[in-house]
Structure 1
Amino acid sequence: MPRIDVPVLHRGLRPLFRVALCSQLLWPALGFADTAYDRMVLDARAGHYAPALDALRQVPPAQATAGQVSDHLQIAGWAGLDAEVVQVYETQGRGRTLPVQALTATARAYRNLKRWDQATQVYNQALALDPGNADLQLGLALTQADAGKPDEAVTRAKALVAAKPDDPSRRLALGYALTRAGKQYDALHEYDQAFIRAGSKPQVAREYVVALQKARLPEPALRLADQRPGLIDPVTRRRLEGDLAAERVRLADLATRSEKERYVIADRALADYDKLLATWTPDASAHDDVTRWRIDRMGALRARARTAEVISEYQKLQGEGVKIPTYALRWVAASYLDQRQPEISTDLYRQVLTAPDADAGDRLEDTTGLYYSLLECDRAEEARKVAEDLAKSQRPRIELKGLPVGNPNDEWMDAQQLAAQAGTYGSDLPHGEERLQALVDQAPGNIGLRLAQADLYLARDWPRRAENQLKETESLVPRDMGLEVAQAHTAMDLQEWRQMDALTDDVVARFPDNRQVQRLARQREVHDMAELRVESYGGKAYGGGSGDAGAVTGSRDFGIESTLYSPPIDEDWRVFAGIGYATGDFAEGTGHHRFQRVGLERRTRDMTLEAEISNHSYGFGDKQGARLAIARDIDDHWQYGGSLEYLSAQTPLRALNSDIKANGGSGFIRWRANESREWKLAVSPSHFSDGNNRVEALLTGREGVYSAPNLQVDAGLEVGTSHNSKSDDVPYFNPKADLSVMPLLNVNHVLHHRYETVWSQQFQLGAGTYSQRDHGTGGMALIGYGQRYAWNDVFEVGGLLSAINRPYDGDRETDLRLLVDLTFRF
């Protein structure tokens, strides 16, 4: 936390203490002074010390009387010559019988010189002569406080206050002892009592201001100083003003305040610092204070979300050789994380957590910062270990005196939540779900847990379940920022575009500098962009029957299709247009297919609808086609859909090359358990213009078998079958009936991940069988390798090179293919 400096105390007792303890040092006033020596003593009592001291210094030590030694000790004490007092006492006074006044002057001199043991000894010697002397008792109490024995000092001072509670000097002494004992607020009570009784005295008011400052109450201290001009010196005042700014920094950093309130307080602190720095930077004597203000000002900048300026000031201070305290390093670490420099923030958070003066109360927040820094460095396993270690270090309950079972520990719950969420980000979603559910069962009213659970539901592809969870939470905190951000993300997944806009607009207006809000606004911005999709393929076949390569796709084929979608129109609609080209070499010659299409897409909750018309040119004039497709969600697990096509885009190019077209359709049903398990069955009938009727069915499924932060392994299965009513005398591959079974192993490995940039590689292996009526059963094998790159939410490109070996009409064929796709939003 920002440090609050306390003005350096004057050497020895403060003025009021001095006056109180000198009350018995003055000799009884003489009505007349008949000798020159008496005149010098009277002058010394009036403040002219030099003549008397010169005379006393000339007296040989062996000839000095006890009275002269006593006079010398007292007058040198009045003059503030502590070293001379001690020297005279040690050479001439020790062993003599001296009056209480002389012993008091000596004890005070020892105390001023911080020779606590000697001061204590002389005070006790004086008290032996005058046990009831309250001033001596106060002096001894103050000495014990300075000597590192605050408990003894407090006990002695309390006894003095109890004997005379209305004496302000005793209250001040007790306050001083309590301060030395580290009990700032108990001390403030005593200073307050002294101020109530003698607040009109400048010395008491000044001590009260200092006590308020030590108790971290600079605002009332400055208010009192403003009421009494000249009460404090300029140095003390500037430090109090710096303390007030530091207090505002602390208030602005409190998580319980709203963003708007925090900004108001942070702006006040920044205005205070700007004024102080402008006033005192040119003053060399204020260098240390200016440095402290620059350090503490970083906290206000951090609270104001001006994190780039925090980093800039930190680097300037480092360049000047300034050692940054631990409390300020926390701000710097958070600023580097906010500015997407997690490597630096990781090092700083580790430094903060291992610092000797680290505040235990900040450990949860700092460890959480370290966790997210590691996560954003793509070091998910290290981040998870940090979260787990934090969870293990916290106790479920705080043990309090008088409460046998203690109180629930909020930090334990927060640490458990972080560890559970670590499973989510570490690709261990099932375990994370179990842990979060157990925590929610223990604390159903915990908003953070409910929001974390909703985020996990989204990660598991259960948006409706997340929506229900968030709706229940809304009744508790209807306008919580985290709630609205989560609801907006859920609305996006559910294609509730208007709801997404309303939520996004609200949080952007209220929390424009929040990174979660900025991320949501960016995703909405990308959603509102135009979109270009490009898909291309190329292949070459080897083998085949009778020297003919490529029974299905030709010996060499190539195709490309580009589709441009408009930005959303009235939220739900998009217009799209596309062009494409395909070519392939067949036994009948080279086929070409050029097509153009234009259509309309509607995306609403639970439904996506597309309608298009198209134009096709494949060597026999231009022909028009049409397509209508729909997909509907039943719930988070079930989806069904279908399409109807006139001049189907799925018509084999080899058929088109022989002027054979096909009309058809398809229907599908899909079941999706979660992010790693799903099955889909599709049935596609079609009618060819040569009279052939084809029915195809395809069952696909996948099951996650291994998951790590940067690695996902899925086992897949593809089972396909088809039946054709006409299998003879057609120029395209047209088995009467066939069945293929292909188990697959798909591996996705992330090579690099930094925020919205992801570079990954994919491996694909498959081995199965293909059975064709009249041609028996043969084995199939598939191997593939690809890479994919995504950047800044708007660009994604991927490629997959594969080779498959399988039989067609009993003849084995190897097909080498390259697929490339690109998506660009603008």
Structure 2
Amino acid sequence: MTRNLFTSLAAGFLLAGGAAGAETPVWKQPEYAAAIVQARAGQTAPALALLERERARGPLPAPLLDDYLTLLYWSGRGAEALRLLPGHEADMSADTLARLARAARDQRDAAEAARIYRVLLARQPAAGYRAGLAMAQAEAGQAAAALAVLDAAPPGAPADELELTRARAYVLLQSGDLTQALDYLIRARTRFPGDPELERSYLGCLLRLGAPWQASQAAGASAADSRLVLQIDFDRAATLSRWGRIQESQDSGPGRHAQTDAALKLNQDIAARPEAARPPFAALAADDRVQMLQQRGLSAQAIALDRQRTGQAWSPYARAALADAYLNQRQPLRAEALYRSALRDAPQADEALDWRIGLVYALLESGQHAACRRELAALQAATPRQKTDRASGRRVFNPAFQRVALLDAMVTAYQEDSRGGWEKMEALLDEASFNPELRQNQGSLALMRGWPRLARGVFTRLGVDEPDQPEAAAAGLAGAALDLQELDEADRQLRRLNELDVDNAGVRQLRERARLERRPELVLEGKKDLSGGQGAGEQNAWESSARLYSSPFGHWRLFGLHQLQRASYVNETASARYEALGMGAEWRGEQGRGEFGLTGQIDGGRRGGAFAGYDWTPDDYWTLGARFELNSAEAPLKGRLDDVRGNRAQLSLQYRADDYRSYALQAEALSLSDGNLRRAVSANWDQRWVSGPRYKLNTILTLAASANDAVPSARYFNPRADGEASVTAMQEWKLWGEYETTWHQRLGLTLGSYTQRDFGAGGVWGLLLEQEWRWGSRGSLRYGFTRVRHPYDGKAETGNKVYLNLDWRF
């Protein structure tokens, strides 16, 4: 058939070439003749390239379009050929239409396959076309119509009878009536002994009935050739793998991998046979194996096999498995290409919804947020709430709708609209309150929004309601414990995940975070004044603090600290300096965070100090804090020229409604050694108005007031009473990101009014420009510049500062 086709191809090229004019047509060129020879040998790319170049000049004539679609089919681009077919059926040869009908079946587009077979039957009532139509109808779930088509076949030659017998066996198998199919196949094998297709159907029926070893014995006892026996053995391994997929979804613990491990072992044993090294079995063995490896969670091994077999034409199912593997190993761009390839070649596959969901996550994780939303919107449009039940013809709820709606909620949250994602999740839970998958994702969203206690309750309930699926509950409880600084509990849950043999990207991230929480931590802060201002603004001022924390033991960790402040003044001959060393201990746990410690000045003052504080967090919303500092670093630096020291007491209250809105109140008193008692209160409201994957906008409204005692000798800024109101618009852009490693830029603009007793009111404005690198739980680096205009004693001053903050675990 191939030889005859290319004879007609060449003739078609020559005939069409006669009308092409003076320019030598492509089909008359020597290179095209060579391309045809290569195409006969299976290397279709050269001929395709020449025809595509010709097609770019204008529509191809009918004979050339016929040949082009044939070459597309042979090149594995059947879906593309089918897109070009409509409107040209009458011009296509029967062979080409038959190939495209086969391509439609391969694409799981049974309706298109049936349409093409009807076109063929209208031309010629051949048994092969009738058989193809019946098989396409069976694949569409229309078994009764398929059997009616076969029943209407007129008597024919033995070859036609065999063709129709094969088709009937296929239809019965597709209908799911395996008992009737087995009975029919037993009789058909008697009528047509040794027929490879019937033998394959018979053995396949045994496999589907759950009797793979009986199938293997039947293959060995029959006259089946060695290739069929080998194929049956590969089918046996594939059946084990399908059982393994069911076991993976229903069981927990290492035992859930038993069937998949058995399938991998059988696949390896079969592939080791000498006859399996020949085409097509070597490729089949690898194709099956890569799917089994990913099903087993061995993503790295699946990727290694992909790289080892460079150039292999993977099936759509293997490509999708590899896409899952690459996504699991945080290579989303490679995953995206594989998902798209699998969906292009098998858009109607039963697993296509899983692939499209994977594609959405690949786009999300690679930072292609607009493309992610487009793909998600297309998936939503293709997934209605209701579908037609094939058996009854009635409209029923479409379970895929809920999966896509859940995907929409999670993608919304992952694209930094956690409030929108939460609202969508609540709507889903209103319809399916006890759905475990929804509950699991609700817990994940609660963690994302900063509600670890709520998340812990969700995951605890999930563990009770779904005792056979403990993995999700353990992972969620580990995340909640880490957020609450309950490190021992987090370790316990992670050990549980190890016992359950759970190893995915999320669990690996939890393990890494838990490891880093156990490491020492260095926190550095530094500020440098650039202004040269007077009054409250120092000249050549420098301020820094450093803390080095030990690895935690239980809820505790030790730390050492260093603080330095220094400045000179244009109206003072001496420079002010405060420097201290200290050590302390910090406690962190579910109920809050506290610390205490001792300090000692090393700047010549040789004065000791102490501090203690605790922030109590009884729930996910409220925090109540108290702190006391003896010889506080908050004493005015200029006052240290006169050896002024201070003790500071502070109370604070914060209500954090969610990750979009919070309120805070603070009151403090600073008792200075020169007799001054400085009192201050402040309140702020932080509100996020815009939240997206690239841009965020917050506003911070601040009200503050303070009062001081009259101290005539004070050289530091000491207003009797003052107040300030300001609003800051804080904009943030995500400049770059790859998973936890991200780079951000912020621009803050502040406007306000400051009032000082005896000096009246004046305007306040400020500018902040900041960048921040984040390395997940490892640490962060912030650096920036501020410029502030502020009145002091009635005189407006402008100050400029640069700063740098480092938080690093090592």
Asked if these proteins are the same fold (TM beyond 0.5), I'd say yes
Q: Deviations over 1:229-284 (max 9, x none)?
A: 5643322211111111222333334462436355322322222232222223685x
Contact kept, 8 Å, 1:574 with 1:600, in 2: the verdict is yes
Aligned to 1:438: 427
Distance 1:318 1:213, change over 3 A: farther
Give the match for residue 797 of structure 1: 781
- Per the TM alignment, residue 464 of structure 1 is displaced from its structure 2 partner at its CA by 2.6
The SS at the match of 2:615 is strand
Aligned counterparts of 1:743 and 1:524: Cα–Cα separation in 2: 38
Q: Corresponding residue for 1:235? A: 227
For the 8 Å contact 1:699–1:719, the answer to whether it is kept is yes
Which residue in the other structure is 2:29 paired with? Answer: none
Name the aligned partner's letter for residue 290 of structure 1: A
Residue of structure 2 in register with 1:455 after alignment = 444
The RMSD of aligned alpha carbons is 3.2
CA distance in 1, matches of 2:656, 2:442: 19
C-alpha distance in 2 between matches for 1:787 and 1:516: 28
Q: What amino acid does structure 2 have at the position aligned with 1:266? A: T
Read off the aligned partner of 1:481 and give its amino acid letter.
Answer: E
Q: Return 658-667 or 151-160, whichever deviates more.
A: 151-160
Corresponding residue for 1:551? 535
The aligned counterpart of 1:274 is 268
Aligned mates of 1:267, 1:258 — CA distance in 2 = 14
Counterpart in the other structure of 1:422 = 411
Q: TM-score, normalised by structure 1?
A: 0.75
- 1:281/1:287 contact within 8 Å kept: no
Q: Is the 8 A contact 1:768 1:780 kept in 2?
A: yes
Give the equivalent residue in structure 2 for 1:585.
568
Q: Could you tell me which amino acid in structure 2 is paired with residue 644 of structure 1?
A: F
Distance (whole Å) between structure 2 residues aligned to residue 604 and residue 751 of structure 1 = 34
TM-score (norm 2): 0.76
1:596 aligned residue: 581
CA distance in 1, matches of 2:454, 2:131: 64
| SS of 1:217 mapped into structure 2 | helix
Deviations 1:427-454 (A, max 9, x none): 2223222221111011111111112222
Letter matched to residue 728 of structure 2: L
Secondary structure of the 1:541 match is coil
What residue in structure 2 maps to residue 617 of structure 1? 602
Alpha-carbon separation, structure 2, partners of 1:145 and 1:690: 109
Contact 2:732 2:746 in 1 (8 A): yes
Quick one: distance in 2 between partners of 1:380 and 1:159? 54
Instruction: Work out whether 1:303 is the aligned partner of 2:287.
Output: no
SS in 2 for 1:705: strand
Return the letter of the residue paired with 1:614.
T
- Give 1:372's aligned amino acid: Y
> Is 1:345 the counterpart of 2:338 in the alignment?
no
**1:524-673 counterparts in 2 under 5 A?**
524-542=514-532, 549-569=533-553, 571-586=554-569, 587-620=572-605, 622-673=606-657
Residues 241 and 260, structure 2, Cα contact 8 Å, conserved in 1 = yes
2:744 matches 1:760: yes
1:220 paired with 2:206, answer no
Taking the aligned partners of 1:635 and 1:190, their CA distance within structure 2 comes to 63
**Unaligned runs of at least 5 residues, structure 2:** 1-124, 135-144, 154-160
| 2:344 maps to amino acid | T
Q: Mapping of 1:134-213 within 5 angstroms?
A: 145-146=127-128, 148=130, 176-179=166-169, 181=171, 183=173, 189=179, 192-193=182-183, 203=193, 209-213=199-203
For residues 363-402 of structure 1, the aligned pairs below 5 Å read 363-400=352-389
* Partner amino acid, structure 2, of 1:258: D
Question: Do the aligned partners of 1:222 and 1:237 also contact (CA within 8 Å) in 2?
Answer: no
Question: Superposed, which structure 2 residues align to 1:94-105 within 5 Å?
Answer: none
Distance 2:664 2:129 in 1: 83
Q: Does 1:408 align with 2:404?
A: no
AA partner of residue 592 (structure 1): R
Distance in 2, matches of 1:315 and 1:614, equals 59
Structure 1 Cα separation of the partners of residues 130 and 740 of structure 2: 58
Q: Counterpart in 1 of 2:102?
A: none
2:249 is paired with a residue whose SS is coil
What is the one-letter code of the residue matched to 1:277? A
Match of 2:563, as an amino acid? G
Q: Which residue of 2 aligns with 1:104?
A: none
Q: Give the Å deviation of 1:553.
A: 4.4
Partner of 1:84: none
Deviates further, 443-452 or 581-590: 581-590
**Which residue of structure 2 lines up, in the alignment, with residue 244 of structure 1?**
236
Pairwise CA distance, 1:154? 6.4
> Is residue 727–residue 735 contact of structure 1 (8 Å, CA) maintained in 2?
no
Q: Is residue 542–residue 565 contact of structure 2 (8 Å, CA) maintained in 1?
A: yes
**1:155–1:777 Cα change, 3 Å:** closer
Aligned to 2:458: 469
1:820–1:281 Cα change, 3 Å? farther
TM-superposition CA deviations, 1:756-810 (whole Å, max 9, x none): 1011111111111111111111111101101111125313111121011111112
Task: Tell me which residue corresponds to 2:758.
Answer: 774
Matched, 1:812 2:805: no
Change (3 A) 1:146 1:781: closer
- Matched residues, percent identical? 24
The 1:553–1:217 alpha-carbon spacing in structure 2 relative to 1, beyond 3 Å, is same
Alignment of 1:494-513 (within 5 A): 494-513=484-503
Instruction: Classify the secondary structure of the residue corresponding to 2:682.
Output: strand
Q: Residues 401, 199 of structure 1: CA spacing in aligned structure 2 closer, same or farther, 3 A cutoff? A: closer
Q: Matched residues in 2 for 1:346 and 1:208: separation?
A: 39
- Distance between the aligned counterparts of 1:773 and 1:473, measured in 2? 60
Aligned pairs for 1:311-326 (under 5 A) are: 311-319=303-311, 322-326=312-316
Distance 2:188 2:165 in 1: 15
Structure 1, unaligned runs of 5 or more: 1-142, 161-170, 543-548
Say if 1:236 and 1:282 are closer, same or farther in 2 by CA, change over 3 A.
closer
Q: Distance in 2 between matches of 1:197 and 1:692?
A: 107
Judge conservation of contact 2:596–2:610 (CA < 8 Å) in 1: yes
Distance 1:384 1:202, change over 3 A: closer
CA deviation after TM superposition for structure 1 residue 345, in Å: 1.1
Report if aligned partners of 1:632, 1:639 keep a CA contact under 8 Å in 2: yes
Superposition map of 1:46-57 within 5 A: none
- Is the contact between residue 598 and residue 613 of structure 1 (CA under 8 Å) also seen in structure 2? yes
* Cα distance in 2, alignment partners of residues 157 and 679 from structure 1: 75
- How far apart are 1:653 and its partner, in Å? 1.6
2:216/2:232 contact within 8 Å kept? no
* Contact persistence 2:172–2:178 (CA under 8 A): no
Matched length = 663
Offset at residue 733 of structure 1 (A)? 1.1
- Counterparts of 1:293 and 1:694, CA distance in 2: 80
Paired amino acid for 1:773: R
CA contact (8 A) 2:206 2:215 kept: no
TM-aligned CA distance change 1:723 to 1:667, over 3 Å: same
Q: Which moved more, 1:717-726 or 1:663-672?
A: 717-726
Higher radius of gyration, 1 or 2:
1
Provide the rounded CA distance (Å) in 1 between the counterparts of 2:712 and 2:176: 103
